[in-house]
Structure 1
Amino acid sequence: MSNNSQVLGPFRVRTDAPHTPAAAAPLKVTVGDLQMGAKEKEYLGQVIDSNRLSYGPFTKRFEEMFAEMHDCKFAIFCNSGTSALHIALAALKEMHGWQDGDEVLVPAVTFVATSNVVIHNNLTPVFVDVDPLTYNMDPAKIEAKITPRTKAILPVHLLGLPADMVAIAEIAKRRGLKIVEDSCETMFANCAGRKVGSWGDVGCFSTYIAHYIVTGVGGLATTNDPDLAIMLKSLMNHGRDSIYLSIDDDDGVNKKQLFEIAARRFRFVHLGHSFRCTEMEAAIGLAQLERKDDIIARRTGIAKRYRERFAGLNDVLQLPTIPADRDHVFMLFPLVVRDGSKRDLVNHLESHGIETRDLLPLINQPIYKKMFGDLEPHYPVARWLNNSGFYIGCHQSITNDAIDYVADKLYEFFGRKPAVAPQRAAVWSKVVA
C-alpha cells in the first residue's frame, strides 16, 4: 500500500489527492474481512515451533471448545463446511442403509454446496420453498414434499438466522426423518433456547473466508452421537479404521495394544475422503473462538445501526426479520427490493465501492436448470428473492462511517433525503431541547 493512502476500516482513501474531493479514490465496503490479531500470531508461532501440522493439541482444543459452545459432545474439524455436509450425509446413508436416489429435503434458497453434496452422495435433492421474511426453509411447505423415499431434512440457517427448528424437528420426529443442519453461515445463535448445530443428527459449519470465524479453509461437524462422531472422523480420513485416526493413538499403549494398532493402522473400512485440516487453521480458529463475544457484539451492533439508518427505506426495501424465539448473529446483512429487480440498485452500490452478493440463488443456476428444468414457477418466494434479494457485508471491521456511507448511497439511489445518523440524531435532540 502506498504511503499516500490510509485505511479506515474496510475503506482505503488516497491522502495525496488534489484539493477537489472528487479526485479521492472511491471508498470500499467489503462483504468479508479478516484481521489477524496477536493471539492468532502467537498460536501460529507455537504450531511452527512444534514442527507438527497433523491433528494435534490445537485441533483438539478447537474442536472441544467449539462443541461446548454449541451444546454438543463432539466437533470434528475438517477442511470445509461443504466437506462437513458431505461426510454427514455419507455417514447417515451408510449407517441407516439409505439407497441411491433416496431423497433429502433442501431449501430452495441456499448456497449451491447445500444441494451439491446431496447429489455427490448419489441422493436426490427435493427443494422446499422458503419463508418470505426469514428466507429459511418454510416448515409449512415441508409435508407436501415428503415421499416414501424421503430420508432427511437439510435446513439451512441463512446469513446468521436459525431456521424454525422447533417446527422442523417436530416434523422430522413424527415422520422418522434425520436432520442435518447446514449452519455454515450461523454460529453461536439460539433457537428456542438451543444452539444451532445441536438440533439435528449433525450440524455443519464453515470457517472459510468471510464467514463468522475465519481460518482460511475449514469447517466443523457437530454431533451428540459417539458412533456418528467416529464415522465422521473416519470418512474425513480416507475411511480409516477408527483404531488409528491420529498419530497419537498409539502413544502410551501396552505391547498387545500396539501390535493390534500396527496390524490395523493401514486398514480402511469405509469409502472415505481426504478432508482433513491442519494445526495452522485450528490455531487461527482457536484464537478467534476466544474472542467470539466481541465478534458477536460488533456484528449485531453493525446490524442494529444498519436497521436504524435504513428505516426510512422500509417501504421499498425489506429489512431483516428476527423472530422472537431466535437470535440473529448477522454473518451478512440481507436486503430485498420489495417490488421489481435489484439489478439497478446493486449496480449503483457496486459503482460506489459497496460490495454485494446475490441472496444465494439456487434453483435458477444454469447447472440446476440443466439438471432439473425450470423450477422457479413452482417456488414463488425463491423466485422473488432470486430477482430482488442481495446482501452486503456485516463483518466486525466495518466502521460506523462505512455504515453511514452505505446508507447515503441507498437513499441517493431512491432519490430521498438520508435519515439522520444515530450520533447526529442525539446532537440534534439536544439542540432542539
Structure 2
Amino acid sequence: MIVPLSCPDIGNRERDLINEVLNSNVLSIGPKIALFERLVAEYLQVKEAVAVNSGTSGLHLAVRALGIGEGDEVITTPFSFISSSNCLIFEKARPVFADIDPVTFNIDPEQIESRITPKTRAILPVHVFGRPADMDTIFKIATKKGIFVIEDACEAIGASYHGKKVGTECDAGVFAFYPNKQITTGEGGIITTNNSDVASLCRSMRNQGRSEEDGGWLNHCRLGYNYRLDELSAALGVAQIERIDEILAKRESAARAYSVKLKKIKGVMTPNETPGVRISWFVYVVSLAHGIDRNSVMNHLQKNGIGCRPYFQPLHLQPFYRKSFGYSEGDYPNTERISSSTLALPFFNDITEQQMDYVVDVLQQAIELVSC
C-alpha cells in the first residue's frame, strides 16, 4: 500500500469555479480574489483580508506595513518553518528567539519578556502544527510593552484559543494555503487585520506599490512587489473556504482516530488536546521516545510506501542562521530535543481507516525493529 504524507482535497465545485475563470478570460486582479478575501474575512470575523501568493509574502508585507525595519528586534520561535524568521531578515530586522514549551511546541511566553529590549518592536508567535499559542499571555506582554503582535497562523486556519480564532485580534495575522494545508489555493496566503491602514498598505505593496486611491497602472506610490494571488488560485480558495467546516471536522476526526490507534505502541507520544483550545489539524506529528532512532524508523516507513517527515529542524541551527548570528547547539534545548524526536505521519482530509491502520502497524514494526 502507498500512503502519501499529504493529499489535497479537490472536488467538482473547485473545478467548476476554475472553469468559470478560464471562460471569463480574466486571470488576474478579478472578481474571484475579491470574493475569496470577503469569504475569509467573514469566516474569521475580521475587517480586512488581503490575499497574496504565499504565506511568506504575507508575513513579509505584514512586517513592512507595521514599519519594522533595520535595527529592530522581533521575538519569535526557533521551532518553525523558516519563513517566520526570514520575513524579518528581509527588512534587516533581527529575529530574537525564545525557546518553546515542550508540551505545546509553541513559543514559551515565560521566556518572552526577558528578551525584550528597547529595540523590540513586535512578538511573532507561530501556531505550530495548527495548535494555538498562549495568546492571552502574549497579548498582555505586548500591551504592557507597547509592541506589535504578528501571528503566523499559516498552519492554523480555524484554530481557536478560548473561543477566539487565531489571527484575528493581532496587528496582523497571516494564513497560508500550500497544498498540504487544511485548505489550499495551490500556492497562496492571506493577511488578516482590523486596521484599514495596514490592509491598504499591504494591498498596495502586493501590487508593485500601486495605490488603490490614486494613480494609474504605471504610477507607483511606494516600493512594492509582485505578491498578487491569481484568479485561478483564488477560485480554488473560494471553493475550499466554502466547505472549511467540513474539512476541519474531517481532519479532527482523523487526528483523534490516529491517537486512539497509536496508544498500543510503546515509545510513541501522540499530540495532546488542551481544554479551551481548538487545534486546526495541519499535520499529525508524534514524538518518539529517547533512544529510538528516528532515521531508522523513517527508512522503514518509506520502504513500505508510507510518506513521513521530521518536523521541524531548529531555525537557529540552519547553516545561514549559524553563520549570520553565531548560534550553536545547546542555545535552545527544548527546541533541539523536540526537533530530534518529532515525526509527521500521513495526514489529509480523506485518509481512510485502512490507511491509518496500515501506517500504525508498520510504525509498530519499525519501533520493534529499532528496539531490538
Residues 145-164 of structure 1: CA deviation (Å, up to 9, x unaligned): 11111101110011111111
Identify which of 382, 398, 401 aligns with 2:335: 382
SS at match of 1:376: coil
SS at match of 1:168: helix
> Are residue 129 (structure 1) and residue 103 (structure 2) matched?
no
Paired residue for 2:130? 160
Identify which of 339, 351, 369 aligns with 2:322: 369
Instruction: Mark the runs of 5 or more structure 1 residues left unpaired by the alignment.
Output: 1-26, 244-260, 417-433
User: Does the CA-based 8 Å contact 2:177-2:186 persist in structure 1?
Assistant: yes
Shift of 1:225: 0.6
Identify which of 270, 284, 289 aligns with 2:236: 284
> Are residue 232 (structure 1) and residue 194 (structure 2) matched?
no
Shift of 1:369: 1.9
**For residues 123-272 of structure 1, what are the structure 2 equivalents within 5 Å?**
123-243=93-213, 261=214, 264-272=216-224
> Are residue 84 (structure 1) and residue 20 (structure 2) matched?
no
Change in 2 beyond 3 A, CA 1:163/1:385: same
Distance 1:99 1:387 in 2: 33
SS at match of 2:209: coil
Structure having greater relative contact order (Cα 8 Å, sep ≥ 6): 2
Paired residue for 1:307? 259
Residues 90-140 of structure 1: CA deviation (Å, up to 9, x unaligned): 1111xxxx4412101110100011111111111001111111111111111
Shift of 1:60: 1.0
> Are residue 324 (structure 1) and residue 275 (structure 2) matched?
yes
Query: Structure 1: which amino acid aligns with 2:318?
Result: Q
Shift of 1:373: 2.6
User: Does the CA-based 8 Å contact 2:9-2:349 persist in structure 1?
Assistant: no
Paired residue for 1:337? 288
With the length of structure 1 as denominator, give the TM-score of the two structures. Answer: 0.82
User: Does the CA-based 8 Å contact 1:376-1:382 persist in structure 2?
Assistant: no
RMSD (Å), alpha carbons: 1.5
Tell me which stretches of 4 or more aligned residues in structure 1 moved more than 4 Å: none
SS at match of 1:221: strand
Shift of 1:209: 1.7
Distance 1:127 1:236 in 2: 28
With the length of structure 2 as denominator, give the TM-score of the two structures. Answer: 0.95
Identify which of 353, 365, 368 aligns with 1:400: 353
Residues 51-91 of structure 1: CA deviation (Å, up to 9, x unaligned): 11122221111101101111211111110000000000011
Distance 1:104 1:388 in 2: 28
Shift of 1:415: 2.7
> Are residue 360 (structure 1) and residue 312 (structure 2) matched?
yes
Higher CA-based Rg: 1
SS at match of 1:312: coil
Query: Structure 1: which amino acid aligns with 2:284?
Result: F
Distance 2:320 2:343 in 1: 21
SS at match of 1:36: coil
User: Does the CA-based 8 Å contact 2:32-2:231 persist in structure 1?
Assistant: yes
Distance 1:414 1:207 in 2: 33
Distance 1:131 1:199 in 2: 22
Distance 1:216 1:355 in 2: 20
Instruction: Mark the runs of 5 or more structure 2 residues left unpaired by the alignment.
Output: none
Distance 1:373 1:28 in 2: 42
Q: Percent identity?
A: 37
> Bigger CA drift: 365-374 or 81-90?
365-374
> Are residue 273 (structure 1) and residue 273 (structure 2) matched?
no
Shift of 1:264: 5.0
Distance 2:182 2:149 in 1: 23
Shift of 1:242: 2.8
Distance 1:151 1:383 in 2: 26
Change in 2 beyond 3 A, CA 1:99/1:284: closer
Shift of 1:214: 1.0
Distance 1:226 1:211 in 2: 27
Distance 1:395 1:182 in 2: 21
User: Does the CA-based 8 Å contact 1:160-1:185 persist in structure 2?
Assistant: yes
Query: Structure 1: which amino acid aligns with 2:25?
Result: N
Shift of 1:336: 1.1
Residues 156-181 of structure 1: CA deviation (Å, up to 9, x unaligned): 01111111111111111111110111
